[in-house]
Amino acid sequence: MFSSTGSSGLYKAPLSKSLLLVPSALSLLLTLLLPHCQRFFLYDLQAVKDDFQIWRLICGRIICLDLKDSFCSSLLIYNFRIFERRYGSRKFASFLLGSWVLSALVDFILVEAMWYSFGITASRNLPSGFLAPVFALFVPFYCSIPRVQVAHILGPLSITNKTLIYILGLQLFTSGSYIWIVAISGLISGICYNSKILQVHQVLYIPSWMAKFCSWTLEPIFSSSEPTTEARVGMGATVDIQRQQRMELLDRQLMLSQFAQARRQRQQQGGMINWNRLFPPLRQRRNINYQEGRRAEQQASPPLEVSEEQVARLMEMGFSRGDALEALRASNNDLNVATNFLLQH
């Protein structure tokens, strides 16, 4: 429901899986069985400043003590797993580390600014948990994930593939009195790291030896197998619509498997994938007699024109122009389907 792009599950996302399981399990443990230990995981900047309890900057910013915050942040991390597939686990971990460290500094600045400007003490009331990096991930989500319209409501208002994610982020943003401080610090740190301001990405990163060590020790524990089937689509109200939806689902599964096989062959032999030779455009397949009725027309028809704006969006996500063109032609200019093709493998 909350996944905007990519296949379901946590395939090729071991770090995201660990962030889902470990902090959530510890949060439940502290809430249900060890409530007397929660004081060690409070995010108390006043204690850090006055008593030099530096360890609170670590313990207080990993585990959520509020189950609502833990649930919302887990859903967002599950959706943002697409960046781990795109960047790789090491670069994704470097982004999380950089935004986590930078946001701690911004938290101090914002808390002190509130105290000197309005006399409001917020240093003892900040929410605990791995929240700032979650808000930081909204920066690449806004910049690099294409916006695909799903439906219209109330005239000009539209629902896109990103709407539910923003609503969930807004829910997390309003879940506490001072969580907005953590949210703003996360967004600022995400902008700084994503925009490479002051070259912070060259200072705050995961070294290669640590990435190799984690890959050898932790990745086998948190790795997931490749999903064999995609999630079922919602069924229509009539038999004809249901039949059409089943056909489109089978078409998509066929295209994904053919695309994976063709990409493996290209890696071995080199060259461009001929998408139109592998399979016809999905959106033009409307009835059972499509293959017979369109053969002669396809031989005479010119190549499908591709929107340069959609090509630019795919290139902004890191794909080559050639792959973007072929993916859009194969999906009949359907940006969402083309993105799925390129992100899933």
Full set of structural domains in the chain with CATH: 14-148+157-223 (1.20.1540), 307-344 (1.10.8.10)
Indicate if the pLDDT at residue 292 is higher than 60: no
Indicate if the pLDDT at residue 286 is higher than 60: no
Burial label, 8 (beta-carbon count in 10 A; 0-12, 13-18, 19+): exposed
pLDDT of residue 11: 82
Indicate if the pLDDT at residue 289 is higher than 70: no
Indicate if the pLDDT at residue 255 is higher than 90: no
Tell which residue, 321, 332, 335, has the closest CA to residue 283.
332
Q: What share of the chain is helix, strand, coil (3-state, %, to 5)?
A: 65, 5, 35
Q: Give the mean pLDDT of 219-225.
A: 87
In the structure encoding, which two tokens stand for residue 273, read together?
A: 């994938």
Give the lowest-confidence range in 89-98, 145-154, 172-181: 145-154
Tell which residue, 145, 143, 76, has the closest CA to residue 342.
145
Q: Strand locations in the chain, DSSP E?
A: 149-153, 157-160
Cβ contacts of 247 within 8 Å, gap of 6 or more: 285
Cα–Cα distances (Å) from 329 to 38, 325, 345, in that order, read: 55, 6, 18
Indicate if the pLDDT at residue 77 is higher than 90: yes
Q: What is the mean pLDDT of the chain?
A: 79
pLDDT of residue 231: 46
Helices H / strands E in the chain, number of each:
18, 2
Interatomic CA distance for residues 325 and 275, integer angstroms: 10
Q: Give the mean pLDDT of 295-323.
A: 68
Cβ contacts of 278 within 8 Å, gap of 6 or more: 255, 258, 259, 262, 330
Interatomic CA distance for residues 316 and 253, integer angstroms: 26
Indicate if the pLDDT at residue 116 is higher than 70: yes
The dihedral built from the CA positions of residue 156, 2, 93 and 49, taken in this order, carries a sign that is positive
Tell me the whole-structure pTM to 2 decimals.
0.67
Q: Give the mean pLDDT of 266-282.
A: 50
The span from the first CA to the last CA of the chain, in angstroms, equals 21
Identify the residue with better confidence: 25 or 9: 25
Q: Give the mean pLDDT of 10-36.
A: 92
pLDDT of residue 328: 81
Question: What per-residue string of b and e applies to 309-341 under the rule 16 or more CB within 10 Å gives b?
Answer: ebbebbeebebeeebbbbbbbbbbbbbbbbbbb
Q: Give the mean pLDDT of 53-63.
A: 92
Q: What is the CA radius of gyration of the chain?
A: 23
Indicate if the pLDDT at residue 99 is higher than 80: yes
